[in-house]
Chain A
Amino acid sequence: EDKVVQSPLSLVVHEGDTVTLNCSYEVTNFRSLLWYKQEKKAPTFLFMLTSSGIEKKSGRLSSILDKKELSSILNITATQTGDSAIYLCAVEGGSNYKLTFGKGTLLTVNP
């Protein structure tokens, strides 16, 4: 059975801190790993990673995939209160392209 594990489950930091969120996976026929941010209801897409070692960057957020270690990290630098959300990691694989999600990391950024 496909599995995605995220750590930590929750994290509280102060504005300006840098955080690293972790995601590890076990999935057959790996195709891609995706990061989403969920603030209220709909997860919003952040990154899709398919190749190992290539960092994807968007503003203060960056992510990288390590296929050898079957893991990915999401970095957020100079955190702001607006970064407070659940960050979901999902892996696309199997025979029908479904996403298997981890339970998420709840990030709280205090002023």
Chain B
Amino acid sequence: GAGVSQSPSNKVTEKGKDVELRCDPISGHTALYWYRQSLGQGLEFLIYFQGNSAPDKSGLPSDRFSAERTGGSVSTLTIQRTQQEDSAVYLCASSLSSGRGNEQFFGPGTRLTVL
């Protein structure tokens, strides 16, 4: 595709429900990243994929958060039993590969609101 796409663009859910956020990276990009941006905060790293494997999950805030990537392309970020503090914009980025000189291109994000 022309750019990174994410869906849904907005998601409102009730506390305790599970949500799935989807990211379609730029075609041919092997590295994929998930970030979270809360109001007034910078982007917070969540997880990174190289191909289908996730060498760095250090940013996932709790075991309610998980992510997978299949076919080296689409990735899904799942948040189980959502809490109000999960409300944020979730941004996905991709790059050609994880290595020096590969800038990350961002998708438009999913704004998650947990009531």
Contacts and interface: CB of A to CB of B under 8 A. Distances in A.
A41 B108 contact: yes
A48 B106 CA distance: 15
Interface in A77-111: 88, 90, 92, 95-104
Contacts, number: 66
Interface string B90-115: 01010000111111111111010000
Nearest to A102: B42
Given A4-B42, A88-B43, A45 B108 contact: no
Contacts of A34: 103-104
Given A41-B109, A98-B33, A88 B42 contact: yes
A42 B55 contact: no
B59 interface: yes
B56 interface: yes
Nearest to B46: A98
27 contacts: A31-B100, A36-B106, A40-B108, A41-B89, A41-B108, A41-B111, A42-B91, A42-B108, A42-B109, A43-B43, A48-B101, A50-B100, A88-B42, A90-B43, A95-B56, A97-B31, A97-B48, A97-B98, A97-B102, A98-B56, A99-B35, A99-B104, A100-B45, A101-B42, A101-B44, A103-B42, A104-B42
Interface of A: 4, 31-32, 34, 36, 40-45, 48, 50, 88, 90, 92, 95-104
Interface of B: 4, 31, 33, 35, 40-45, 48, 55-56, 59, 89, 91, 93, 98-109, 111
